[in-house]
Amino acid sequence: MEIKKLQQRMAGNGGGGGGRRHCSGVLESLEDCFTGFLIVLLEWHAQVRRRLLPLLRRQRMAVLAAPVVAAVLLLTWAAYGEAQYVLYKDATKPVEARVTDLLARMTLAEKIGQMTQIERQVASPQVLKDYFIGSLLSGGGSVPRKQATAAEWVSMVSDFQKGSLSTRLGIPMIYGIDAVHGHNNVYGATIFPHNVALGATRDPNLVKRIGAATALEVRATGIQYAFAPCIAVCRDPRWGRCYESYSEDHRIVQAMTELIPGLQGDVPANFTSGMPYVAGKNNVAACAKHFVGDGGTQNGVNEDNTIIDRRGLMTIHMPAYLNALQKGVSTVMISYSSWNGIKMHANHDLVTRYLKDRLNFKGFTISDWEGIDRITTPAGSNYSYSVQAGVLAGIDMIMVPNNYQSFISILTSHVNNGIIPMSRIDDAVTRILRVKFTMGLFENPMPDSSMADQLGKKEHRDLAREAVRKSLVLLKNGKTSDKPMLPLSKKAPKILVAGSHADNLGYQCGGWTIEWQGDTGRITVGMTILDAVKAAVDPSTTVVFAENPDADFVKNGGFSYAIVVVGEHPYTETKGDSLNLTIPDPGPSTVATVCGAAQCATVLISGRPVVVQPFLGAMDALVAAWLPGTEGQGVTDVLFGDYGFTGKLPRTWFKSVDQLPMNYGDAHYDPLFPLGFGLTTQPRTY
């Protein structure tokens, strides 16, 4: 900028004081601050010339005047540069020092903003800037548009992030999403089998590789935070989230916490348990959920009461959290459920005294969706109390997710009135900033558009196909042990494929796929089991599909055998709670009709054990395929003998729902198929 213009601005600002005022408060922009300081320097330089040069002339040292003035100016500029150094922006400094420096600079409004997570549908770059919002999320089905591309996701996240970076301190937001079996909200992503299926594989390394692939696909859309894994120990299959649990056995769940280093990267040597860790920009922050006891509610009722003594809570439901902390999990989500009548979202003893103090967890805790609202009954009936109870319990980030203005106003009032101490706010923000600094979010806040090709890539689909075939559990093979039906012949002249789930990708994937509750039909990119059968058999084989054929059609069709694919319809959470656990119609009648007229192998698509005993005798073979996801070829790989059956039940399979709850080791244990059951076959040799 020309000196005359600077002088004019100096006059307009009332001299050098104006420049100083411009840099003393909230900076409008770096250019204005820099300009203000140049104004100060110009005025100071003029004063030096007026006072120093006459003195120098009197001492006949005028020749030195210019160098002296230049040296003084240089020293002043160096001092100014030193004063502008900001420690929290220096990536070479320790994380804790950066957190302390940034926290000291923050106003109450900026701190409370960091504790606030809002849904993308109520967000905008301006909202993030005005309210200093610390985090965004996409709930189930919340997308930029239907079938949005990776580039469209990246563009959306980038726009939001620019809003955050334009704030006074430039603290980046972190974007979270329920990537619970792959990046399941996103069209074209690889959809892996749900957790119950992965528990059947007994393969922690496979689960770790799935975590790494999921992280890449999440990052491909610009998102840095996955609400996974669910490490619930489901003790009652009537629970609508049971398929999100790896097993009824906490030891299997503990082993499957390998998803965490898959998502986040392996912790370094000499890592301190409880510290958050994310290896780099190809990884995402993970979230162990739902703390604690969510899988033990009475009668499997979602969000209900887990009645168990402390020893039972610690030996069944808590162990996987210790593994998660040892592996550097960055965040822990609090459960909707209660423990012996106390809402977990208001449980200071377990959230603060146990998780934070005793287990030394240093990442941040986060509420579930409107989780603090549900502290009261009915939900939201005393929101002011809910904010108070949730934050004082030790929840650091609140998944609001919509009414953020009310949340911010109430929390601000509670702090100003001394109801919530500033120390609690500082603890929460320290933890949130620690995660953001640890994962390199300040250095790499913007999405990497070059990662778009990671979404649904062939290597990830091959991995999902491997997971499917390892997860299949063979429950019956032949009406007599000496006459197995499987593996099936690929060269049979004519085969029948039947059932509501044979050619329905949405049913095959289950809940948490594209929509929160899942959906029906060709909801994303993938291969149905019918597609896979057609791809697997010999070109000379005729494949006939009839979703619900009558008995005459089957008897007179000349079929060598039939594959019947039936099961549960998609569901999540409370909508999946079931007291009867029956297969929806027309599944049972399809099985009865087809298996009564032809040799049949039944493939059962479900998130849990369901009632099968009444028609088990009619089947020649029964395969528990769980919720396999988009890669239907994983099913046919094993049906036709390219690979053998190896999966083992991660859950006890009951005879009758009247036996429930029933878990391995119970005194009344009398299952149809016990935990760990699974017939094996050898791959067919050609």
> Which has the closest alpha carbon to 362: 400, 403, 329?
329
Over range 177-191, report the average pLDDT.
98
Residue 39 lies in a domain: no
pLDDT digits (tens, 9 = 90+) for 554-592: 999 999 999 999 999 999 999 999 999 999 999 999 999
Residue 494 and residue 349 share a domain: no
Domain that holds residue 332: 108-439
Reported as a pLDDT band with limits 50, 70 and 90, residue 24 is very low
Which residues face 602 on adjacent strands? 564, 622
Q: Does one domain contain both 504 and 389?
A: no
Instruction: Identify which has the larger pLDDT, 228 or 2.
Output: 228
Alpha carbon 463 to chain centroid, angstroms: 19
Q: Do 581 and 238 form a contact (C-beta atoms < 8 A)? A: yes
Which residue pairs, CB below 8 angstroms and at least 24 apart, start in 424-429?
Answer: 424/391, 424/392, 425/108, 425/111, 425/112, 425/115, 425/391, 426/103, 426/111, 427/396, 428/111, 428/114, 428/115, 428/364, 428/391, 428/395, 428/396, 428/397, 429/103, 429/106, 429/111, 429/114, 429/115, 429/396
Nearest to 505 by CA among 532, 536, 483, 544: 532
Residue 46 covered by a domain: no
Choose one of 439, 463, 488: the last residue of a domain.
439
User: Cα–Cα distance between 632 and 529 in angstroms, integer?
Assistant: 5
Tell me whether residue 330 is in a domain. yes
Are residues 306 and 200 part of one domain? yes
What pLDDT shows up at residue 168?
A: 98
Between helix 422-438 and helix 95-105 the angle, nearest 10°, is 130
Residue 12 lies in a domain: no
| Per-position DSSP letters for 344-362, written without gaps between them | GGG-HIIIIIIIIIIS---
Domain total for the chain?
A: 2
- My answer on whether 239 and 311 are in the same domain is yes
Upper half-sphere CA count for residue 473 (Cβ side, 13 Å): 28
Name, in order, each residue with C-beta under 8 angstroms of 92's C-beta and a sequence gap of 6 or more.
none
CATH assignment of the domain containing 596: 3.40.50.1700
Is there a contact between 476 and 621 (Cβ–Cβ < 8 Å)? yes
**For residue range 78-120, what is the model confidence (pLDDT) as tens digits?**
444 555 899 999 999 999 999 999 999 999 999 999 999 999 9
pLDDT of residue 54: 47
Q: Give CA–CA dist 80/125, Å, rounded.
A: 32
My answer on whether 252 and 337 are in the same domain is yes
Q: Is 368 known to be catalytic?
A: yes
Q: Are residues 194 and 235 in the same domain?
A: yes
User: How far is it, in rounded angstroms, from Cα 569 to Cα 583?
Assistant: 9
Burial of 232 (0-12, 13-18, 19+ CB in 10 A): buried
Please indicate, yes or no, whether residues 146 and 282 belong to a single structural domain of this protein: yes
Q: What values do phi and psi take at 386, rounded to 5? A: -60, -45
- Give kind and range of the element (H or E) at residue 541: none
- Could you tell me which residues are beta bridge partners of residue 365? 332
Catalytic residue among 110, 236, 370, 573: 573
Note the pTM of the prediction, 2 decimals.
0.89
* Contact present, 240 and 576 (Cβ < 8 Å): yes
As a residue count, the chain comes to 686
Q: What are phi and psi of 112, to 5 degrees?
A: -65, -35
Q: Residue 440 belongs to what H/E stretch? A: none
Report whether pLDDT(424) > 60.
yes
Tell me if 89 is assigned to some domain: no
Distance CA 467, CA 213 (A): 12
Do 480 and 428 share a structural domain? no
pLDDT of residue 83: 57
> How is residue 116 written in tokens?
């606030």
Examine the fold and report which residue of 417, 439, 461 is the final residue of a domain before the chain moves on. 439
Same domain, residue pair 392 and 512: no
For residue 72, the model assigns a pLDDT of 44
Nearest 5°: CA angle at 632, between 682 and 551? 85
DSSP structure string for 639-678: HTTSS------SS-B-S-GGG-S--TT-TT---SB-TT--
- What CATH number has the domain bearing residue 415? 3.20.20.300
C-alpha torsion sign, points 629, 633, 634, 640: positive
Do 543 and 420 sit in the same domain of this protein? no
Q: Could you say which of 178, 217, 368, 568 is catalytic? A: 368
Q: Token pair of 132, please?
A: 């200093």
Q: Within this chain, do residues 506 and 404 fall inside the same structural domain, yes or no?
A: no
pLDDT tens digits, one per residue of 286-345 = 999 999 999 999 999 999 999 999 999 999 999 999 999 999 999 999 999 999 999 999
Nearest residue to 435 via CA among 105, 133, 167, 135: 135
Q: Is 237 among the domain residues? A: yes
Has residue 346 been placed in a domain?
yes
Strands, sheet with 364-366, edge to edge from the N-terminal-most edge strand: 287-291, 331-334, 364-366
Q: Which residues, listed in sequence order, are joined to residue 191 by a DSSP beta bridge?
A: 182
Cβ(619)–Cβ(595) below 8 Å: yes
* 7 within domain boundaries: no
Residue pair 443/91 in contact by the 8 Å Cβ criterion: yes
Taking only the tens place, the pLDDT of each residue in 32-76 is 444 444 444 444 444 544 444 444 444 444 434 455 444 444 444
Are 260 and 132 members of one domain? yes
Residues in a beta bridge with 356: none
